[in-house]
A and B are shown apart, each in its own frame.
Chain A
Amino acid sequence: MDGVIGFIQDLGPNLQLVLERMPMILDGVFITLLASVLGAALALFIAFAFGLALLAKNVLVRGVARVFVEFFRGTSLVVQLFWLAFVLPQLPYPLGFQLDPLLVGVLALGLNYGAYAAEVVRGSIGSVPTGQYEAISALSLSPARGMFRIVIPQAWALMLPSLSNLWIQLLKGSAIVGTVTLYDLFFQVEQLRDRTGTWFAYSFALLAYYLIAWLIVILMNGLEIRAKHQIGRGPALKDSWRSLFRAPGSTPGGGRSARVVRDRSVAKAGTAGEGGLA
């Protein structure tokens, strides 16, 4: 309890200290943003490459993609991070090199969450109705053109809520990169602790991550509204800007509850497993 009282009493001086240390904190914010944006970009690339490979007709392609996805989903983010940071430098030539900590963080985050996202991409593309595929051949579009002009735009609108959740997961996961000497937001805020006390420093850290997570939510909500509008299933962004601030999973008909309904149809199509993180 005294922690909370101290928190309130020292709020003024502590905020002043935060201002003093702002350059370091901003360094940390920058690293956290950089790791989560680059990690998400890598994850998105992996998601589409392997998500499409998971749907390939060729058994070999599908098999390789399946092994990759299960491997990176199954072996845990922290293990992958430590492997890149500690094991890779100890391997013999031609490996045996020390990666930059930022690269270690981005690779581990991108590979791990990319594998989860590949499953989302696969599930969403798989749940585009068959009629749409029939339309592609009826219009005699080439399969590639049909994929990029008909299927993916619809699947994109479906997958955005799940990708949004995964991106927040990735942001949260990025707080571990301090253990491989990447000095992110969490690391920098922890340095405040001996001057400000535990309650202030960690509340500040949580709040900072919360705000960054909201930036991601707003951005992804915007993309989702736009994607739905473009396939004629929703109002334009300028008419529905209020739903930019919709919390993930707080409205019936949006976010998570809709996701569970969709998951069930995904499961019925024989492409289960998108639901949770596992």
Chain B
Amino acid sequence: MNPNSSWWDWDHAAAVLPSLLLDGFKITVLATVLGTLIALVLGLIVAIIRRSSPPLINAPVTWVVEFIRMTPLVVQLVFANLVLSQYINSTLAIGICVLGVHYTTYMAEVYRAGIDSVPTGQWEAATALSLPRVRTWRAVVIPQAIRNTLPALGNYAISMFKETPFFVVIYIPELVRVAQNYGSHNFRYTEAITLAGLIFLAASYPTSLLIRRLEKKLA
């Protein structure tokens, strides 16, 4: 179909790689790190609320969490961007918040399972020692709960990394968007998109190996 096309052109590869790494990848990593931080903190808060609040609060929180978890990140991104762009100037900031909130709903489940796996005896011991409620959570329950959940939380962080390309729908110049822009400007997608994929693989595979090792160590 394309008489002039070739399998691979190193000139295009060399031309696109710097902007992929220096512009795209930088934003991708930034979004992953900040999104993970948001999800780690909010997820724990949601898990604690769901564990320790009366049904009247618990039920709506549960429903909202479930709703966010069961609806597409892509739709949430576009929606939030349209609504919030009049208040917040940065599309990237909106994207990171949506990503963080979306993954909050996953991480809350992980924390909840971790909290459930803390033996009842530990709660009873805290009551027997008449530890205040806040201290029970902070010094007894959370440290034990988090230890069990570290691998699962890490897996979600990697999964977030691989979902940052959904940002293309709100035109944030992360890795895949940079690759796509190069492709459409030069009528040549092969090197840009392939390299973007390889960068994802090169970053996520070693990380997932590390987490697997952590998982074995904690098991």
Contact = CB atoms under 8 A, between A and B. Distances in A.
Interface in B181-219: 183, 188-190, 193-194, 196-198, 200-201, 204-205, 207-208, 211-212, 215-216, 219
Interface string B69-110: 011111110110011000000000000000000000000011
A82 B70 contact: no
Interface stretch (B37-45, B113-121, B124-132, B134-142): B113-121
Interface string B164-191: 0110110000001001100100001110
B66 interface: yes
Interface residues of A, number: 63
A202 B189 contact: no
Contacts of B1: 89, 93, 96-97
A42 interface: no
Contacts of A256: 109-110, 112-113
Interface stretch (A136-144, A148-156, A168-176, A225-233): A168-176
Given A250-B62, A272-B212, A257 B197 contact: no
A87 interface: yes
B7 A199 contact: no
A179 to B, nearest CB: 6
Contacts of A10: none
A275 B151 contact: yes
B155 interface: yes
A190 B148 CA distance: 42
Contacts of B26: none
B110 to A, nearest CB: 7
A83 B2 CA distance: 17
Contacts of B219: 264, 267-268, 272
B152 interface: yes
A210 B159 CA distance: 21
A86 B70 contact: no
A1 to B, nearest CB: 11
B190 A91 contact: yes
Contacts of B165: 76-79
Contacts of B162: 74, 76-77, 277-278
A86 B193 contact: yes
Nearest to A98: B1
Contacts of B83: 3, 198-199
Nearest to B189: A86
B6 interface: yes
Interface of A: 3, 70-71, 73-80, 82-83, 86-87, 89-93, 96-97, 168, 171-176, 179, 186, 190, 198-199, 202, 205-206, 209-210, 213-214, 217, 247-250, 252, 256-257, 259-261, 263-264, 267-268, 270, 272-273, 275-278
Interface of B: 1-2, 5-7, 62, 66-67, 70-76, 78-79, 82-83, 109-110, 112-114, 116-117, 148-149, 151-152, 154-159, 162-163, 165-166, 168-169, 176, 179-180, 183, 188-190, 193-194, 196-198, 200-201, 204-205, 207-208, 211-212, 215-216, 219
Given A78-B168, A172-B74, 15 more contacts: A73-B208, A75-B198, A78-B166, A90-B5, A96-B2, A168-B70, A172-B70, A172-B73, A186-B74, A257-B112, A260-B113, A275-B151, A275-B152, A277-B155, A278-B211
10 contacts: A74-B162, A74-B201, A76-B162, A87-B189, A172-B74, A176-B168, A198-B82, A247-B66, A256-B112, A276-B158
